[in-house]
Amino acid sequence: MNNRAWFYALGDSGVERLKDVEYLGTIASMCLNSEYAAALFEGKVQLHMMEGDDQQEQRQTRLFPDGDRKEHIVSHALTNDFLFYGTDSGVIVCILVEDWQMLNEFRHPVGIKKVFPDPNGTRLAFIDDKSDGFLLSPVNDSHVEIPSFSPTITGVLWETWPSDKGVFVSFDDDKVYTYAMHKNTIYGPRVVFVGSTKLPFSHKPLLLYNGELTCQTQSGKTSSVALSTHTFLTHTHSPGARTHTPEELSKQLTQALMLKRFPEAWELCKALGGPAGWAEMGRSCLIHMEVDLAVRLFRMSGDVGMVMSLQGIKGIEDRSLLAGHLAMFLNDYNLAQDLYLESSCPNAALEMRRDLQHWDRALMLAKRLAEDQIPFISKEYAVQLEFIGDYVNALSHYEKGMTHNNKEHDEACQGGVARMSIRMGDIRRGAAQAIAHPSRVLKKDCGVILENMKQFSEAAQLYEKGQYYDKAASVYIRCKNWSKVGELLPQVSSPKIHLQYAKAKEMDGKFKEAAQAYESARDWDNVIRVLLEHLNNPEDAVRIVRETQSIDGAKMVARFFLRLSDYGSAIQFLVLSHCNDEAFQLAQQHGQMDSYADIISSEATQEDYQSIALYFQGQNKHLQAGKFFHKSGQYSKALKHFLKCPNTDDNLAIEMAIETVGQAKDESLTNQLIDYLMGESDGMPKDAKYLFRLYMGLLQYREAACTAIIIAREEQSAGNYRNAHDVLFSMYTELQTQKIRIPAEMNTNLMILHSYILVKIHVKRGEHLKAARMLIRVSNNISKFPSHIVPILTSAVIECHRAGLRNSSFSFAAMLMRPEYRHNIDPKYRKKIETMVRRPDTSEIEEESTPCPYCGFMLPQCELICPGCKNNLPYCIATGHHMLKEDWSVCPHCEFPALYSQLILLLETESVCPMCSETLSVNQVEKMDDCSSFLHPDQSEH
């Protein structure tokens, strides 16, 4: 009060009054720290200890300004270590409290209104008499203006949260303004305005801690206000907080980055999810020169190029050079240039400008930094100027680009000089330089420019020198210089030029040269025309029509042959030219319909086929009429004609009738043909093989199978066992392909026939026991071999006797002694067989037993039905024995199973599969570990 102050200690025991102090004037303001008090009165500051006796206090009291200084202090502040004060003349002084020494003095051009040091005393915010705000670093007197600083501001508070020291707020009666001090950025130290927060009525800010402002209200109590610039804290620090929209998250991310709160920003990026957030944070890290963190962030955003660029500059220690690179990555090229020029590598500025194609600036920098680069930059600048059409300056820069010691570079500049000279009208100089220059491409470029300028003779000359013969000939044609065109023609590939030349030669009456030029131009119609009309050379014309399939050419050739009365050739070429109606009429008039039908077959329409069929119908040629009705899709008429065919071409007609019915899929036609084949229409049944083919053509596989069994039975009865075997085998494989169950009768008949075929193979190989076992199987079904009962039983007797199966041999011998067979026995065996019957020997080698592949039951190896599991067992095509699980292989052609060990033995003497007769070698046979797909085919399909 007035010039007195009372000091109290707030201890555990309550409030204790320490002392009161009387000052030399009325107190304007007072500051305290833990030990000292500083009072401002009448332009002076008195600093003294708060505890201790009066004598000690006098020793520990000091008045500022001291000595002769006449400054008038208007504001002061006290931290733990320092006393700061500001004067009306613009001086800010820093005093070290411990030994009363002045550490620093800063002079501002305008008087100071208020000073606000941060808690450490390393930074100081002050307001001057113009109400502008500044931030001062007393360590080195560097100061920056505070942006967006309101003239109504009355105070500043520093953030007291230890992890966020660079943040402060300024405030007036209505609002609080948040700022962040960024010490280490590519722009140098700077202060950023983050945002403002509205203050509740009559709230006075006292303390700022982690975005929360503690204020004093009108009643003297305290109240908290959350700054709107720190809303991101509600997302990152409150797990139960409501979910924010992407717009809110994006705004919070911007706030966190302005306050350099990277951990919170990282969490916000994760919440946002997309690459945009990571990229924004990455750019902020580039500004703050946080390279390692930026690498991680750009990796998260998927920006591979930026990651690689940053990894390339990681180890740079020169701060200016590093900042220059980062400014360039942020597209701030002017700043990057300034930073590069400050660094230990100023040439980086030149390289940047060259890469950006800022040629004017690059040339200015090259004059200062690297004069030897001027020619190269000039050349690159000239290329750009040429591109945009500034030919005057381009020529000047091409001329400046000459080095006289770099051949490749100088040639590029000479080429530019040649082009620019021509463009600016100095054709003689430009053309001469282009001709002297080694580059073909330059000659072409200059030729194009001259051609556009209508300077044809010079353009053609340059094209010719550059070996662009097509272009040269084209320009010579525009000059009507035919002799030059003729000289260049052998090197010219363009058909257009050959065509122009051919027309000129034809007009001159030089037909042979014209024909050659037309041929070079690939204008086949004109070649054919000249060959026929002027050179009378039909052979070459016909060859060209056949090679090129030219329609107009074919018409010309057809007319030519018609004049010669060669109707067959005329028809052929009319068809080639798609004049089918004319060709048909010609064939009709001159009896050439067979030729016409042969010629047109590949590309005729349904109407064409119908016309031909009607013609042959009128001629009573049933086979041809049926054939063409079939091609035109009129199956009923086609069948009628096929069935009318005389017996001479009966076979072909029936085959075609079967094909017709197969395609027609019409039940009445099918029944008509079946009646014909069964002989119901003419009383003459046809061969059963046709009925079999019909069912196959109709995809009626079950009926085909029944027919196949009948055919096989007929063949078998006739003694054609191989034919019967092949019919059954082909039907078996067809049914398997169509996944239709094989009839049991077919399976059994095929097995018995195959056993018969194996007998000859075993006898030839001297394996009499195997032959005897197969003959026993065949003899047990002897009724299926009616033509050869006696020979088969005789063979069975002999082979069984040889193999030691005496009982079996006796039983077959006894069968042969029946009256119906006895007289047919071969005389040389009869006596021996009679002896066997008279003196029977019932000894028999017991048949070897092997396991059933299904259930493992042991049964004789030639038995094909298992007594254990009642399954029909698959048989080996090499021996006729039942299959064994552990010795399984299949023929790669027909996929019938065989015992691997036995098939390998058989193939030592045989070269074909005994079932399908396809060529087979040991190398093609592989042993199978798993045969379940053969044993259980139904399961493997599922």
Residue found by looking up tokens 């709230």 in the block: 203
pLDDT tens by residue, 477-487? 565 555 565 55
Query: 720's torsion region: left (phi>0), alpha (psi -120 to 50) or beta?
Result: beta
d(CA 425, CA 427): 5
pLDDT tens by residue, 680-734? 455 444 444 555 555 555 555 566 666 666 666 666 666 677 877 887 787 777 7
Angle made by CA atoms 13, 17, 19, in degrees to the nearest 5: 145
Helix and strand totals (H; E) in the chain: 44, 26
d(CA 757, CA 746): 16
**Does 32 have pLDDT greater than 90?**
yes
Mean pLDDT, residues 75-83 taken together: 95
| All residues at 6 or more sequence positions from 936 whose CB lies less than 8 Å from its CB, including other chains | none
- Where is mean pLDDT largest: 51-65, 401-415, 900-914? 900-914
**Does 227 have pLDDT greater than 90?**
yes
pLDDT tens by residue, 420-431? 777 777 777 777
pLDDT tens by residue, 849-886? 999 999 999 999 999 999 999 888 999 999 999 999 89
pLDDT tens by residue, 80-119? 999 999 999 999 999 999 888 889 999 999 999 999 999 9
Q: Tokens in use for 598?
A: 């042969």
395 or 356, greater pLDDT: 356
pLDDT tens by residue, 148-170? 999 999 999 999 988 888 899 99
Handedness of CA 257, 259, 265, 266 (dihedral sign): positive
785 or 111, greater pLDDT: 111
Strands 204-209 and 190-198 turn out to be: unpaired
Q: Tokens in use for 924?
A: 């093609």
| Cβ–Cβ < 8 Å for 232, 252 | yes
| Cβ–Cβ < 8 Å for 753, 877 | no
Task: Calculate the CA 392 to chain-centre distance.
Answer: 48
Residue in 848, 781, 769 with CA at minimum distance from that of residue 809: 769
Provide the pLDDT for residue 591.
47
Handedness of CA 545, 547, 551, 553 (dihedral sign): negative
Long-range contacts at 920-925 (CB < 8 A, ≥ 24 apart):
920/891, 920/892, 920/893, 924/892, 925/889, 925/891, 925/892, 925/898, 925/900
d(CA 255, CA 248): 11
For 833, phi then psi, to 5°, come to -70, -40
Q: Tokens in use for 611?
A: 């016309």
d(CA 692, CA 677): 11
d(CA 535, CA 754): 72
Provide the pLDDT for residue 558.
54
Residue in 231, 301, 288, 299 with CA at minimum distance from that of residue 262: 288
- DSSP structural state of residue 463: H
pLDDT tens by residue, 547-588? 555 555 555 555 555 554 445 445 555 544 444 445 454 445
Helix 538-548, helix 551-563: angle, nearest 10:
150
Provide the pLDDT for residue 649.
46
Exposed, middle or buried: residue 765 (CB in 10 Å: 0-12, 13-18, 19+)?
middle
**Does 349 have pLDDT greater than 90?**
no
Residue in 674, 680, 678 with CA at minimum distance from that of residue 657: 674
Provide the pLDDT for residue 867.
92
- DSSP structural state of residue 69: -
Mean pLDDT, residues 265-279 taken together: 90
**pLDDT tier at 365, thresholds 50, 70, 90:** confident
Question: Residue 249 in 3-state DSSP?
Answer: helix
Per DSSP (E only), the strands in 418-504 are none
Mean pLDDT, residues 762-782 taken together: 89
d(CA 747, CA 745): 5
Strands 858-860 and 212-216 turn out to be: unpaired
Helix 347-355, helix 319-329: angle, nearest 10:
10
Provide the pLDDT for residue 662.
52
**pLDDT tier at 622, thresholds 50, 70, 90:** very low
Provide the pLDDT for residue 685.
47
**pLDDT tier at 626, thresholds 50, 70, 90:** low
Provide the pLDDT for residue 40.
96
Question: Residue 825 in 3-state DSSP?
Answer: coil
925 or 612, greater pLDDT: 925
d(CA 414, CA 438): 11
Average pLDDT, the chain: 78
Task: Calculate the CA 367 to chain-centre distance.
Answer: 49
Cα distances (angstroms) measured from residue 500 to each of 276, 325, 504: 62, 62, 6
Mean pLDDT, residues 475-502 taken together: 59
